[in-house]
């Protein structure tokens, strides 16, 4: 009788799991299929779903640490390609794939994934124009985040040296394509921003296919660009559409060369502007000087007309003339007054009793000084006084005689 080994269910499942995980071909497989019954555990963050095609399906799980790295939100009905390992879930004996990575299958799915992330970031306000910072007019230091070996870096430094050689260029090198490039660019960008030495930062690369530019749609890079305190110019070399990096940046340029032109002014234009400004300023100053010179001449003539010395000189001449006229008038007046006075003096002298007495006349008065004008006012024996030019005679009236014929 043949001997059979009886296994417990758990032993069987463990054995089958060991066989599956021991196959090198099954440790890393890429499987294409359509997602069905997708769900995410709200507590653990693990994702559970099935992949199916026209004739079969397989159960899948993606643990939280891998699900958080997805750049899109998986949905039922979406076609994807997963990188996974085949295993057996011992408890249920169910064959499944443990997925480490997931990418949309086809450009349509890629576009959908980008649109999902774009809507999410837009809802958070990362594209809001009010958040955009102005690029300084005259930057002293320009930061650059790109590959050190890329032609983009050469283009940027060449344009900066030609347009604005005064600026210092600081490169923070990072890969610009391939898995993990977005993470490296985000770190390089944050490192430049944290130094506080850059006035503006250019992040980007030259042209490429949609797959080459995929890293510039990374959520991590988009958030790093939006979170920069330094103004950021996105320079992803394509014209067809905007990456999330473009939308979050403060300014977008179609090429690295164009970004360099936007970052700095043209030194020749600035020289021309300063030359024209200096010319206009000089012309304006000359015009103002001419106007002020004319005004000064006018004021000078006005001041000369009102010059105190001139006024004093003119007034002095007037004063001297008036004094002369006054003196002449006074002299004429004095002569007239002198002549009049002499005439009056002579007239008065002619009427002076003393003058009359000096010519041999006398005046007789009573003792009380009353002049005697008639013999009728005199009595015999009355004392009278005769006034002569050199004295008086005291007499007594002995006789009064009237003139003959009276």
Over the stretch 144-169, which tens digit does the pLDDT of each residue have? 999 999 889 999 999 999 999 999 99
C-alpha 307/C-alpha 309 separation (Å) is 5
Binned at pLDDT 50, 70 and 90, residue 405 comes out as low
Mutual orientation of helices 181-195 and 219-226 as an angle, nearest 10°? 10
* Assessment of whether the complete model's pTM goes beyond 0.75: no
Number of structural domains the chain divides into:
4
Q: Are residues 381 and 296 in the same domain?
A: no
Residue 331 inside a domain? The answer is no
Per-residue pLDDT for 107 more than 70?
Answer: no
Q: In angstroms, what is the C-alpha Rg of the chain?
A: 66
Can you tell me the mean pLDDT for 18-46?
A: 88
Residue ending a domain, among 215, 246, 265, is 265
Using alpha carbons, select from 69, 85, 75 the residue that is nearest to residue 40: 75
Q: Which residue has the tokens 């930061």?
A: 143
In this prediction, residue 75 carries a pLDDT of: 86
Residue 71 inside a domain? The answer is yes
In this prediction, residue 5 carries a pLDDT of: 77
Residue 238 inside a domain? The answer is yes
Domain with 382, as residue range(s), is 355-396
Q: Are residues 296 and 216 in the same domain?
A: no
Q: Are residues 86 and 156 in the same domain?
A: no
Residue ending a domain, among 86, 105, 124, is 105
Q: Are residues 13 and 49 in the same domain?
A: yes
Residue ending a domain, among 265, 286, 315, is 265
Beta carbons within 10 angstroms of residue 83's beta carbon: 15
Residue 43 inside a domain? The answer is yes
Question: Three-state SS for 8?
Answer: coil
Q: Are residues 225 and 257 in the same domain?
A: yes
Asked whether 163 and 106 are in contact (CB, 8 A), the reply is: no
Share of the chain above pLDDT 70, in %: 90
Q: Are residues 247 and 206 in the same domain?
A: yes
C-alpha 6/C-alpha 11 separation (Å) is 10
Q: Are residues 162 and 233 in the same domain?
A: yes
Parallel/antiparallel/unpaired status of strands 57-62 and 79-89? unpaired
Q: Are residues 154 and 241 in the same domain?
A: yes
In this prediction, residue 2 carries a pLDDT of: 56
In this prediction, residue 239 carries a pLDDT of: 57
Binned at pLDDT 50, 70 and 90, residue 123 comes out as very high
Asked whether 225 and 241 are in contact (CB, 8 A), the reply is: no
Residue 246 inside a domain? The answer is yes
Beta carbons within 10 angstroms of residue 233's beta carbon: 25
Per-residue pLDDT for 34 more than 60?
Answer: yes
Asked whether 119 and 72 are in contact (CB, 8 A), the reply is: no
In this prediction, residue 323 carries a pLDDT of: 83
Can you tell me the mean pLDDT for 183-205?
A: 95
In this prediction, residue 106 carries a pLDDT of: 67
Q: What is the pLDDT of residues 244-298, one digit of tens each?
A: 999 999 999 989 999 999 999 999 999 999 999 999 999 989 898 888 888 888 8
Binned at pLDDT 50, 70 and 90, residue 110 comes out as low
CATH number of the structural domain spanning residue 100: 2.40.50.140
In this prediction, residue 268 carries a pLDDT of: 93
Q: What is the DSSP string of 180-193?
A: THHHHHHHHHHHHH
Q: Are residues 45 and 32 in the same domain?
A: yes
Residue 316 inside a domain? The answer is no
Question: Three-state SS for 352?
Answer: coil
Q: Are residues 47 and 166 in the same domain?
A: no
Among 121-130, 350-359, 370-379, the minimum mean pLDDT is found in 350-359
Q: What is the pLDDT of residues 291-345, one digit of tens each?
A: 888 888 888 777 766 666 766 777 778 878 888 888 888 888 888 888 888 888 7
CATH number of the structural domain spanning residue 250: 3.40.50.10350
Can you tell me the mean pLDDT for 238-243?
A: 68
Q: Are residues 162 and 219 in the same domain?
A: yes
Asked whether 252 and 242 are in contact (CB, 8 A), the reply is: yes
Per-residue pLDDT for 216 more than 80?
Answer: yes
Q: Are residues 361 and 301 in the same domain?
A: no
Residue 132 inside a domain? The answer is no
Binned at pLDDT 50, 70 and 90, residue 357 comes out as low
Residue 376 inside a domain? The answer is yes
Mean pLDDT, all residues of the chain: 86
């Amino acid at each position: 009788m043949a001997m059979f080994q009886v296994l417990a269910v758990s032993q069987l499942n463990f054995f089958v799991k060991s066989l599956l995980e021991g196959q090198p071909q099954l440790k890393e497989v890429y499987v294409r299929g359509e997602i069905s019954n997708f769900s995410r555990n709200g507590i653990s963050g693990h994702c559970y779903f099935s992949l199916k095609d026209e004739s079969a399906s397989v159960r899948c799980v993606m643990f939280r640490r891998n699900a958080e790295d997805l750049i899109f939100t998986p949905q039922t009905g979406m076609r994807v390609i997963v990188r996974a390992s085949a295993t057996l879930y011992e408890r249920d004996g169910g064959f499944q794939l443990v997925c480490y990575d997931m990418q949309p299958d086809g450009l349509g799915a890629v576009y959908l994934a980008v649109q999902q992330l774009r809507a999410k970031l837009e809802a958070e306000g990362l594209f809001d124009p009010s958040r955009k910072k102005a690029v300084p007019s005259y930057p002293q230091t320009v930061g650059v985040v790109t590959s050190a070996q890329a032609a983009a870096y050469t283009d940027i430094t060449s344009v900066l040296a030609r347009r604005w050689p005064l600026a210092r260029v600081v490169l923070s090198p990072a890969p610009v394509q391939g898995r993990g490039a977005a993470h490296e660019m985000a770190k390089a960008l944050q490192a430049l921003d944290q130094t506080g030495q850059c006035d503006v930062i250019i992040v980007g690369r030259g042209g490429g296919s949609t797959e080459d530019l995929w890293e510039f749609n990374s959520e991590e890079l988009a958030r790093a660009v939006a979170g920069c305190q330094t103004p950021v110019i996105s320079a992803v070399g394509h014209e067809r559409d905007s990456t999330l990096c473009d939308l979050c940046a403060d300014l977008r340029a179609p090429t690295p060369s164009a970004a360099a032109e936007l970052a700095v002014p043209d030194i020749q234009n600035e020289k021309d502007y300063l030359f024209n400004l200096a010319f206009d300023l000089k012309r304006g100053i000359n015009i103002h000087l001419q106007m002020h010179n004319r005004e000064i001449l006018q004021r000078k003539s006005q001041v000369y007309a009102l010059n105190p010395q001139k006024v004093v000189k003119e007034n002095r001449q007037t004063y001297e003339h008036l004094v002369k006229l006054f003196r002449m008038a006074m002299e004429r007046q004095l002569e007239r007054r002198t002549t009049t006075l002499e005439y009056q003096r002579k007239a008065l002298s002619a009427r002076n009793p003393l003058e009359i007495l000096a010519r041999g006349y006398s005046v007789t008065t009573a003792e009380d000084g009353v002049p005697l004008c008639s013999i009728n006012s005199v009595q015999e024996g009355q004392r009278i006084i005769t006034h002569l030019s050199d004295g008086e005679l005291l007499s007594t009236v002995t006789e009064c005689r009237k003139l003959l014929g009276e």
